[in-house]
Amino acid sequence: MSQFEYVAVLISIIVGLSLTQLLRGVGRLVATEDGPRPYWVHLVWTFYAFMMTALFWWWEFRLAAADWSLPMYIGVIIYATLYFFLSLVVQPGRLDGITSYKEYYYSRRSWIFGLIIALILWDFVDTLMKGFDYFFELGVEYLAINITIITASIVAIITPNERYHEISAVFVLIAFVVFQYRNFFVIT
C-alpha cells in the first residue's frame, strides 16, 4: 500500500461521514412530514457544503504523486475534519427543539459561516503546501473567488437580513460551481 493509499483511507472515512451527515439531513426532510419546516437558503448552503466536501475528496487525488510528510498528513486531516464539522452544523444530528430550518439557520449562521471561512483559509494553507507554483497556477480567479466568499461570509455572520442571505447564497453557489467547473473538470 502506498503512502497516499494509506492516507486516502482515513480521508475517505472522514469525508464519507461528512457526506452521510449532509445526505441524512436532506433525507430527513423527504422522509418525515412532522419535522422542521425546510428553508431554501439553508438547503442551498447544504448543497454548497456537499459540493465543497465531495470536491475536496476529488482535489486531493492530486496528492497521489506527492511526497508525504507529517505536516502534510496532519494538514489534510485537519482539512477533512473541518468539512466534517461544517456538515454537523449545517445538518445537525438531533432536531430537538428545531421547528424550522429558517430559525435554525439564522441561529447557527456564525458557526456555518465561521467554518466556511476557516475552510477557505485552510485551503490557502493546503494549496501552498502543494507548492507556490501550484498556488500561482490557480491565478487571480482563485484568490478573487475565495476572498469574495470570505467577505460574503463575514457579512452573513454580522447581518440577519434575509434578502442578503438569499442573494449571497445563490451568488456564492453559482460562483463556486463555475470556478470548480472551469478549473477542476478534469484532474491531470
> What crossing angle do the helices spanning 139-158 and 109-129 adopt, rounded to 10°?
160
Query: What string of H, E and C letters represents the secondary structure of the chain?
Result: CCHHHHHHHHHHHHHHHHHHHHHHHHHHHHHCCCCCECCHHHHHHHHHHHHHHHHHHHHHHHHHHCCCCHHHHHHHHHHHHHHHHHHHHHCCCCCCCCCEHHHHHHHCHHHHHHHHHHHHHHHHHHHHHCCHHHHHHCHHHHHHHHHHHHHHHHHHHHCCCHHHHHHHHHHHHHHHHHHHHHHHCCCC
Q: What residues does each domain of the chain span?
A: 3-184
Closest alpha carbon to 156 in 188, 118, 112, 120 = 112
Q: What is the pLDDT of residues 138-165, one digit of tens each?
A: 888 889 999 999 999 999 999 999 999 9
Q: What is the pLDDT of residue 186?
A: 60
Residue 115 has pLDDT above 60, yes or no: yes
127 vs 153 pLDDT, higher one: 153
Mean pLDDT, all residues of the chain:
90
CA distances from 113 to 2, 32, 70, 168, 170 (A): 36, 27, 29, 12, 15
Residue 64 has pLDDT above 90, yes or no: no
Q: What is the pLDDT of residue 106?
A: 97
pTM metric for this prediction: 0.91
Place of cell 478549473: 183
Question: Poorest-confidence range of 122-126, 131-135, 163-167?
Answer: 131-135
CA distances from 136 to 119, 127, 144, 183 (A): 19, 9, 13, 13
Q: What is the pLDDT of residue 84?
A: 97
